[in-house]
Every structure is written in C-alpha cells, then in structure tokens.
Amino acid sequence: MRNVIFGILVVFFALLSCRSDEDSIQRIDQIVNLYMKNSAGQDLLNAKKSGSFTAISMNDINGISDNAPVSFALKATADSTLYIEYIAGARRVTVDSISPADRTYESRITLALTKKLTETTNDVTNDVLRIQYHWTPSVFEVSKVFYNDELKFTKQPGAPNVVTIIK
C-alpha cells in the first residue's frame, strides 16, 4: 500500500513539474544597431571612404574604472552599409524604480570617433550615447536612445532597435 501511494505521489509531482508556465518567460530585446551618415547620406563607418571615421572606440561612463571599454561589432548590411551592433556590456544604472514590477535602467557610453585629416593629424570627436531600458517581469527592452542628449530613437512594439545618426 505504501508503494502505491508513493508511486502516485511521484507521478503527480512529475506531471506537475512538466506543466508549462508561459508567464515566467521574459522577452529580452537589447540589441541596438547604430548607423552613422553625413547629410549627403554617405556611410561614415566605412574607413575606406574619404571623410569617414578611421577608428571607433566605446567606453562605459558608469563603469567601475575610468577605462571601461565596451564591446561592439562593426557589421554590414546586404548593400555593404556598415553599422555598429551593440548588444550589452555597459553598466546599467537604475533611473526609475517606483514600482517593483516596472523599472527603467540607463547605460551611458562615450564614442570616440577618429577621422584622419592628414598623414600626421587626426580629429577625435567624443560623443555620448545614452540607452534607456524598460524592465517588467515579461519584457526587458531598449526603450529610448539619446545621442549627445538628443532623442534619436523611441521603441515601437515589434520593430528592431535601429538608430541613424546624421553627423
């Protein structure tokens, strides 16, 4: 009799643990694709083109140390337009946490963009990329992107996080 009750309990708990709980899955959408063009539409990330940036580096402003490099990938679209793909790496600081189930986080990153002026001189521009994230138990996503304190992107449901900067 004990074995039968024990067997029934084992089967019951096994079935209970197999149920799916769709509410516990959090959707994560944190990839930002950053395009840089001039006013004529020229890709400024292609170092082979005249007037483009020859070097790019990113540093976490909220990092633990002053030198906190942020990783990114330089990728190309089908038509060979280059863009910066930023996935994660910069420290996120809580901006708003009034509700325990709805929070806003922010990362601040400096972009050092180098242009070659002559054989011996370079021009380095330091810009600030600020990314705000929205967190709830069901979603963690990019909500807004600011470039030099100017709003450049606001999240639209289901759309990719594509930011185009005109310099």
Predicted TM-score (pTM) of this structure: 0.83
pLDDT band for 17, please (50, 70, 90 cuts).
low
What is the strand order of the sheet 73-76 is part of? 73-76, 82-86, 32-37, 162-166
Tokens standing for residue 92: 């996120």
Q: Which of 49, 165, 70, 59 is nearest to 115 (CA)?
A: 49
How does pLDDT run across 88-142, given as a tens digit for each residue? 999 999 998 888 889 999 999 999 999 988 888 899 999 999 999 999 999 999 9
Q: What are phi and psi of 67, to 5 degrees?
A: -105, 95
How does pLDDT run across 51-71, given as a tens digit for each residue? 999 999 999 999 999 899 999
